[in-house]
Amino acid sequence: MASSPYFSLAVLFVAALLFGLAPLGLAWMWARLFSPRKPNAIKNSIYECGLVSKGDAWVQFRSAYYLYAIIFLIFDVEAVFLLPFAVAFTGLGVAACVSMLIFVLMLVEGLAWAWAKGILTWA
Amino acid sequence: MQRAEEIKAAIEAAVPGAGVTVVPNPSPSAQHALRLEPAHAVAVATFLRDAPGLAFDYLSNVTGVDWLDKEIAEKVKVTRQVTKTVDGPDGAKVDQIVDETAEETRKRVEPGYLETVYHLYSVALHHGPLVLRMRTVNRTDQIQLPSFTPVWRGAEFQEREVFDLYGIVFTGHPDLRRILMWDEFKDHPMRKDYVEPDDYEYEPTAHDAVLKRAQEHSAAAEGNRE
Amino acid sequence: MAVEKELKIELGKQGIFVTTIEELYNWGRRSSVWPMQFGLACCAIEMIATTMARYDLARFGAEVFRPSPRQADLMIVSGTVTKKMAPQVVRLYNQMAEPKYVIAMGACAISGGPFKQGYNVLKGIDRYIPVDVHIPGCPPRPEALIQAFMTLQKKIDGQPLTGEGRPRYLDADAQCEFPVPEQGAHDLEPPSNRGVWPVEIQGRGSRD
């Protein structure tokens, strides 16, 4: 078994798992041993500015919110590509500039499409 | 701005039977108030807002006043027929009926009422304030007054405050709830006969009223202990 | 076994650091007192000023104002507590995790202050929750709040973990729930929590 080429990978995998779980376990044990437990009905109730909470905390968001978030994410990532391009701009040729332009235009087209679909209007 | 009497005349010309009275203010400011009849008050208010020469477009302030039952002592001249024994012309005693006038103090109780006071200004014509007053019939059950919220939107919260603290019920108000005290509260703290909770702590103070309350409190506490 | 104080100092001079679990535990607690982020009135402005650069509350490990009671250790009652607000303040205090402390900041939080004779002002937050440090003033200066912090840190430092005088949360029998007053028809009901406020207060109800 030790001769298997995957053995070292398995060891690493277990080590990685422990590396993540050990602090959590220690924290849990520490809390069990040392943290004082004084629960009561008021303490366990939902926190809402000191007022008695009304209704359920598990409310549904509109799906439009997620579309909005995805569009934001795309333009966020676009900035990551634009920054190195802008830094290296003076040393680049026409081809790089044109391809970057196409990339940005594709995103703009996507934005125009989303706009036309009415995703940006919050109704 | 026109004088209160002129405004009164204008109102009476525009709203027949409005029943406006001028309540004079003897202080140097001489801000005489107009007392409106509740039945025509909204019509009068609308006129005051829309009349081109007046144009009171801004309601600055709404407040309340609590007037307790007033005991008025007044001197009345009373004429009575009294039988008197007078010396007759022939020396004999004769009973004679004579009218005698005497002064007597009589006590009369004037029922209390709640009053609202509105201060109006005109932003367009730069004049004001015009003081309006309205009175309820009594302090207990007939405490309705018309709301000016449909005329001036700014009256909404202030009328809620007057409702909360004085208990005047504004008919026509869109959302008449308590605004400062909690909804379960039953009293009206700004009324003169409001009984405060006796949760006071005592300390040396120069205020006679506080000292009196302190004495009452300790007397009550003594009574409880026994 | 405890090390005597003189011996500890002597060892410290020689470069040997001796401590106890209790000291370490209290040091940890007092160096990270996180206040709850809420203000009631004008005292809150002074509280905000205390956290800013000039007064710099961060020196005491207390710069992290937590917006949730779950993560806060300290409630600074900064300002007038109206009877309308009192149940909310008491409920927030209940929702904080142990160990928790309270600083009553300013005349109003202590006793009602200038509004004491008002019908809608609670005459001191210590009628409902236990207060550790009171600061007089109207409002107290930021230095006074820092002084209160240092007093609280001294108090935490001096708390034993076992035996008499141990904090409430380490005592299994101690009551840690502070009832939230109800807003009644004339006054808060009850007018005080007899567990923390020794004197009986006659509510309005007893007079009717």
pLDDT in tens, A45-61: 888 788 888 877 788 87
| CB contact C126 to B (< 8 Å) | no
Distance CA B120, CA B151 (A): 12
pLDDT surpasses 60 at B42:
yes
Residue written as token pair 């909690």:
B182
User: Using CB atoms, which residue from C87, C95, C169 is nearest to A47?
Assistant: C95
pLDDT surpasses 60 at B143:
yes
Largest CA distance in chain C: 73
Distance CA A79, CA A82 (A): 5
Question: In which domain, by residue range, is A103 found?
Answer: 63-117
Indicate the length of chain C as a whole number: 208
Are β-strands C133-135 and C101-105 bridged in parallel, bridged antiparallel, or unpaired? parallel
The nearest alpha carbon in chain C to B179 belongs to C84
Burial class of residue C103, CB neighbours in 10 A (0-12, 13-18, 19+): buried
Whether B196 and C185 lie within 8 Å, measured CB to CB: no
pLDDT surpasses 90 at C105:
yes
Q: DSSP class of residue C71?
A: G
Whether B185 and C191 lie within 8 Å, measured CB to CB: no
Distance CA B96, CA B83 (A): 6
pLDDT tens profile C22-43 = 888 899 889 999 999 999 999 9
Whether B200 and C191 lie within 8 Å, measured CB to CB: no
Three-class DSSP category at C53: coil
Indicate the length of chain B as a whole number: 226
Q: What is the mean pLDDT of residues C182-204?
A: 79
Q: What is the mean pLDDT of residues A98-106?
A: 92
**How confident is the prediction for chain A on average, in pLDDT?**
87
* Residue B111 · residue B138 · CB < 8 Å: yes
pLDDT tens profile B44-80 = 999 999 999 889 999 999 999 999 988 888 888 887 7
Q: What percentage of chain A carries pLDDT values higher than 90?
A: 31
Q: What is the mean pLDDT of residues C115-121?
A: 85
Whether A51 and C177 lie within 8 Å, measured CB to CB: no
Q: How far, rounded to the nearest angstrom, does the alpha carbon of residue B79 sit from its chain's CA centroid?
A: 35
Residue A53 lies in a domain: no
Interface test with C, best of A47, A48, A52, A53 (most C CBs within 10 A): A47
Burial class of residue B84, CB neighbours in 10 A (0-12, 13-18, 19+): exposed
Q: Which residues of A touch C87 (CB under 8 A)?
A: 50
pLDDT score at B163: 94
pLDDT surpasses 60 at B21:
yes
| CB contact C203 to B (< 8 Å) | yes
The nearest alpha carbon in chain B to C189 belongs to B197
C103 forms beta bridges with C76, C133
The nearest alpha carbon in chain C to A47 belongs to C95
Label residue C207 by pLDDT band (50, 70, 90). Answer: very low
**How confident is the prediction for chain B on average, in pLDDT?**
86
Q: What percentage of chain B carries pLDDT values higher than 90?
A: 50
Q: Name the residue ranges covered by the structural domains of chain B.
A: 4-67+113-171, 71-109, 196-226
Label residue C206 by pLDDT band (50, 70, 90). Answer: very low
Residue C52 lies in a domain: yes
Q: Which residue has the higher pLDDT, A29 or A62?
A: A29
Q: What percentage of chain B carries pLDDT values higher than 70?
A: 93
Q: In angstroms, what separates the C-alpha of C95 from chain B's closest C-alpha?
A: 22
Between helices C142-157 and C43-51, what is the axis angle to 10°?
A: 70
**HEC assignment per residue over chain B:** CCCHHHHHHHHHHHCCCCCCEEECCCCCCCCCEEEECHHHHHHHHHHHHHCCCCCCCEEEEEEEEEECCEEEEEEEEEEEEEEEEEECCCCCEEEEEEEEEEEEEEEEEECCEEEEEEEEEECCCCEEEEEEEEECCCCCCCCEEECCCCCCCCHHHHHHHHHHHHCCEEECCCCCCCCCCCCCCCCCCCCCCCCCCCCCCCCCCCCHHHHHHHHHHHHHHHHHHC
pLDDT surpasses 80 at B204:
no
pLDDT tens profile C46-90 = 999 999 999 999 998 888 899 999 999 999 999 999 999 999 999
Whether B224 and C202 lie within 8 Å, measured CB to CB: yes
Number of domains in chain A: 1
Which of these CATH numbers, 3.40.50.300, 3.40.640.10, 3.20.20.190, 3.30.460.80, describes B4-67+113-171?
3.30.460.80
Q: Which residues of A touch C94 (CB under 8 A)?
A: 40, 42-43
Q: In angstroms, what separates the C-alpha of B199 from chain C's closest C-alpha?
A: 6
User: Quick check: do A and B touch, 3+ CB pairs under 8 A?
Assistant: no
User: Using CB atoms, which residue from A36, A49, A50 is nearest to C170?
Assistant: A36
Label residue C205 by pLDDT band (50, 70, 90). Answer: very low
Q: Which chains neighbour A (Cβ–Cβ under 8 Å, 3 or more pairs)?
A: C
Whether B197 and C187 lie within 8 Å, measured CB to CB: yes
| CB contact A80 to C (< 8 Å) | no
Q: Which chains neighbour C (Cβ–Cβ under 8 Å, 3 or more pairs)?
A: A, B
Which domain CATH number covers C143? 3.40.50.12280
Number of domains in chain C: 1
**How confident is the prediction for chain C on average, in pLDDT?**
87
pLDDT score at A1: 65
User: Using CB atoms, which residue from A36, A45, A47 is nearest to C169?
Assistant: A36
Burial class of residue B95, CB neighbours in 10 A (0-12, 13-18, 19+): exposed
Q: Which residues of C touch A45 (CB under 8 A)?
A: 95
Three-class DSSP category at C129: coil
The CA angle A65-A68-A71, to the nearest 5 degrees, is 155
Residue A58 lies in a domain: no
The nearest alpha carbon in chain B to C86 belongs to B182
Q: In angstroms, what separates the C-alpha of A37 from chain C's closest C-alpha?
A: 7
The nearest alpha carbon in chain B to C187 belongs to B197
Question: In which domain, by residue range, is C94 found?
Answer: 32-149+173-201
Buried b (16+ CB within 10 A) or exposed e, B133-160: ebbbeebeeebebbbbbebbeebbebbb
* Residue B127 · residue B1 · CB < 8 Å: yes
pLDDT score at A3: 80
Q: In angstroms, what separates the C-alpha of C14 from chain A's closest C-alpha?
A: 33
Q: What is the mean pLDDT of residues B192-196?
A: 86
Whether A38 and C176 lie within 8 Å, measured CB to CB: yes
Residue written as token pair 């009644």:
C184
- Residue C121, C-beta contacts closer than 8 angstroms, at least 6 positions apart: C80, C81, C82, C83, C108, C112, C115
Q: What is the mean pLDDT of residues B182-192?
A: 90
Name the residue type at position B64.
G
pLDDT surpasses 90 at C11:
no
Burial class of residue C9, CB neighbours in 10 A (0-12, 13-18, 19+): exposed
pLDDT score at A11: 94
pLDDT score at A123: 64
pLDDT surpasses 60 at B226:
no
